[in-house]
Structure 1
Amino acid sequence: MTATYQSLRIEQADGIAEVVLTGPGKGNALGPAFWLDMPEALRVLDADESVRVIILRGDGAHFTYGLDLMAMSESLGPLILGEGNLALERTRLLQLIEKMQSATEGLARCRKPVLAAVHGWCIGGGMDLIAACDFRFCSREAKFSLREVRVGITADLGALQRLPRIIGEGNTRELAYTGGDVDAERALQMGLVNRVFATPEELLAEARATARKIAENPPLVVQGAKQVMEYCADKSVADGLRYVAVWNSAFLQSQDLAEAFAAFAERRPPRFQGR
Structure 2
Amino acid sequence: MMQRMYPNQQILRSICRSMSSLPTYETLKLSQPKPHVTLVELNRSSKLNAMNKQLFDELKVCFEQLNTEKSCRAIVLTGSGKAFSTGIDVKYLSGVSVNELGEIDDVARKALHLRRMIQSIQASLRSVDKCEKPVIAAIHGHCIGGGVDLSACCDIRYSTRDTTFSIKEVDIGLAADIGTLQILPKSITNHSIFRELVYTSRTFNSDEAQQIGLIGRIFDTREAVLEAAISLASVIARKSPVAVQGSKINLNYARDHTVDDNFLFASAWNSSMLMTEDIIKGVMASAVSKDKSNKDAISEIKFEDI
**Which residue of structure 2 aligns with residue 8 of structure 1?**
28
Taking the aligned partners of 1:62 and 1:196, their CA distance within structure 2 comes to 16
Taking the aligned partners of 2:39 and 2:240, their CA distance within structure 1 comes to 20
Taking the aligned partners of 2:93 and 2:241, their CA distance within structure 1 comes to 38
Which amino acid is 1:243 matched to?
F
Q: Secondary structure at the match of 1:51?
A: coil
Matches within 5 A, 1:86-125: 86-125=107-146
Q: Secondary structure at the match of 1:181?
A: coil
Q: Secondary structure at the match of 2:196?
A: helix
CA RMSD of aligned residues (A): 1.8
Q: Tell me, yes or no, if the aligned pair for 2:45 and 2:79 is still in contact at 8 Å.
A: no
Gaps of at least 5 residues in structure 1 are: none
Rg larger in structure: 2
Structure 1 stretch displaced more, 253-262 or 62-71: 253-262
Distance 1:189 1:103, change over 3 A: same
Cα deviation, 1:150-181, whole Å, max 9, x if unaligned, reads 11222111211112112253333222210111
Structure 1 stretch displaced more, 20-29 or 45-54: 20-29
Taking the aligned partners of 2:143 and 2:31, their CA distance within structure 1 comes to 21
Percent sequence identity over aligned pairs: 34
Distance 1:85 1:150, change over 3 A: farther
Gaps of at least 5 residues in structure 2 are: 1-18, 290-296
**Which residue of structure 2 aligns with residue 272 of structure 1?**
303
Distance 1:85 1:120, change over 3 A: farther
Matches within 5 A, 1:173-212: 173-212=195-234
Shift of 1:72: 3.3
Q: Does 1:45 align with 2:45?
A: no
Q: Does 1:130 align with 2:151?
A: yes
Which amino acid is 2:207 matched to?
E
Shift of 1:228: 0.8
Which amino acid is 1:9 matched to?
K
Taking the aligned partners of 1:9 and 1:194, their CA distance within structure 2 comes to 25
Which amino acid is 1:199 matched to?
T
Q: Tell me, yes or no, if the aligned pair for 2:163 and 2:205 is still in contact at 8 Å.
A: yes
**Which residue of structure 1 aligns with residue 16 of structure 2?**
none
Which amino acid is 1:242 matched to?
L
* Of 23, 36, 48, the match for 1:27: 48
Shift of 1:7: 1.1
Distance 1:25 1:149, change over 3 A: farther
Q: Tell me, yes or no, if the aligned pair for 1:119 and 1:200 is still in contact at 8 Å.
A: yes
Q: Tell me, yes or no, if the aligned pair for 1:32 and 1:72 is still in contact at 8 Å.
A: no
Shift of 1:83: 6.7
Taking the aligned partners of 1:164 and 1:25, their CA distance within structure 2 comes to 32
Q: Tell me, yes or no, if the aligned pair for 1:160 and 1:172 is still in contact at 8 Å.
A: no
